[in-house]
Amino acid sequence: MLKLYNSLSRKKEEFKPYSEKVAMYTCGPTVYYYPHIGNMRAYLFMDNIRRVLKYNGYELNGVMNITDVGHLTSDADEGEDKMLVASQREKKSPWEIAKFYTDVFMKDVKKLNIDLPEHICPATEVIPEIIEFVSELLKKGYAYETSKGIYFDISKFKDYGKLGGMNLEDKLAGARIDVDEEKRNPADFTLWIKAPKEHIMQWQSPWGMGYPGWHIECSAIGKKYLKDEIDIHTGGVDHKPIHHENEIAQSDALEGHQVVKNWMHIEFLQVDGGKMSKSLNNIYTLADLKEKGFEGEDFRYFYFMAHYSKQQNFTFDALTSAKNSLKTLKNLATEHKNSDARLSEEELKGFEDEFLNAINDDLNMPLALAVVWKMLRGKKSKDAYGLLMKFNKVLGFNFDEETIPQEVLELAKLRWQAKSEKDWARADDLRQKITNLGFAVKDSKEGYTINKI
């Protein structure tokens, strides 16, 4: 039985999706700068959940947004659009900034072998859906217009603050004095911002030219791809008190019922025991780690060393120890692969059950790794290697020797046959199927080779 901690109920719960195909939403990056390894911990967390769900036999419908407009310098809608700040800093258009940093992000997640969601959607691609969403909220009386834009009226949504465990009165009383006298409540947040003429990113709307607030993009993108039933929504703990409260308010108000069943949050990655910050010069990217001789999968191993609900402290010593462990683990794996000895069914089942119990206990990856070590340090056998390859569907390391799945081998055979019969359409279709499974076929005169993408 898979159990996951739900930030909403503050309990570990048995995972029961709305349907067999799990609908999962992840708050994606704001593409205004290089992602750091703290951000990457959040996407490894997404990967971790996705792989564990697949290991349990679920199919997935995953969605992640790319924030390329509307995220102001403070999450509580103050300051300037981060994209514009970057655009001034780098003397490029916000579109160029978004493209550049989206590419960097995609390369980084690839280096970490992150299992990406089925849909990745930039905010600027769903402006009509956002406008529609805001219009509906206005119609239902949850939103109102001021000279600055359209705001969500939090006093109309009785559950506001339920994720952070704060009731509405506390939230209203606790909000700092807002200078905007047009707002009904200080903590009301922006759905749509009316743009001054010189603002570069703006779109036509029923309320004049403007651009969306940050929170609404996630609700609109979630609705577009996952409708009104989302099984799991992930993000970093920093998103809990504002961004995710606001997402809940918007989506649940629109649909008239709870949209997200299970909220899951990853605790922060600390560096040298403290926050990553520019002034301490300790914000590291994957490129910085590479420069010091560390690969993406070394950081992936490091991620597994702590539970996601605990802060994890990054030091180069800890990363070095992760790197060394991974190297030893791979060497042991090769020894198992080359052994002709066998393990009994019972022994294998023992390891398999222990591993499954660990990952299904709210993703206890440190314990899952301990099971892997116990197995690899035991009697060398081909069977243990086979089981390790199965576990690796969750771990996601690059074992050079990783075997190509039977399904891919068969598809490649059929494709070769289709080609020899000059049935190009079928051959292309089969190639696509192989690509979807994460492999690439390369043809030569003699035949074809298959590689992992």
Tokens of 448: 């074809």
- Give the separation between CA 196 and CA 70, rounded to whole angstroms: 14
Of residues 352, 338, 452, the one with CA closest to residue 385: 338
Closest approach, Cβ 291 to ligand AMP, in A, equals: 20
Binding of Zn ion by 259 (CB under 5 A): no
User: Interface with Zn ion by CB under 5 A: which range of 144-152, 215-223, 260-268, 296-304?
Assistant: 215-223
The residue among 26 and 185 lying less far from ligand AMP, judged by its C-beta, is 26
CB 451 within 8 A of CB 409: no
Q: Which is nearer to ligand AMP, 109 or 412 (CB)?
A: 109
Alpha carbon distance 358, 354 (integer Å): 6
Other beta carbons within 10 Å of 116: 16
304 contact choice in Zn ion, ligand AMP, none (CB below 5 to 8 Å, kind-dependent): none
- Per-residue DSSP letter, 240: I
Q: Would you say 26 or 312 has its CB closer to Zn ion? A: 26
276 binds, among Zn ion, ligand AMP, none (CB under 5 to 8 A by kind): ligand AMP
Segment contacting Zn ion by CB under 5 A, of 6-14, 216-224, 284-292, 323-331 = 216-224
Q: Which is nearer to ligand AMP, 41 or 171 (CB)?
A: 41
Residue 381 binds: one of Zn ion, ligand AMP, none (C-beta under 5 to 8 A by kind): none
**271: β partners:** 274, 314
Q: Give the up-direction half-sphere exposure of residue 324: CA atoms within 13 A in the CB hemisphere.
A: 6
Rounded least distance, CB 117 to Zn ion, Å: 13
Site for Zn ion contains 264 (CB under 5 A): no
Q: Which does 269 bind (CB under 5 to 8 A by kind): Zn ion, ligand AMP, none?
A: ligand AMP
Closest residue to ligand AMP, judged by C-beta, is 236
- From the list 218, 249, 254, 264, which residue makes contact with Zn ion (rule: CB under 5 A)? 218
Helix runs in 258-405, H state only: 286-291, 296-304, 316-337, 345-360, 365-377, 382-395
Interface residues toward ligand AMP, by CB under 6 A: 27, 29-30, 38-39, 41-42, 235-236, 238-239, 266, 268-269, 276
What's the N-to-C CA distance of the chain in angstroms? 32
Distance of CA 334 to the CA centre of its chain: 32
Cβ closest to Zn ion, residue 225 vs residue 391: 225
Q: Alpha-carbon Rg of the chain, whole angstroms?
A: 24
Q: How far is the CB of 47 from ligand AMP (least distance, A)?
A: 13
> In terms of DSSP bridges, do strands 439-443 and 448-452 run parallel, antiparallel, or are they unpaired?
antiparallel
Which residues would be at the binding site for Zn ion (CB under 5 A)?
Answer: 27, 218
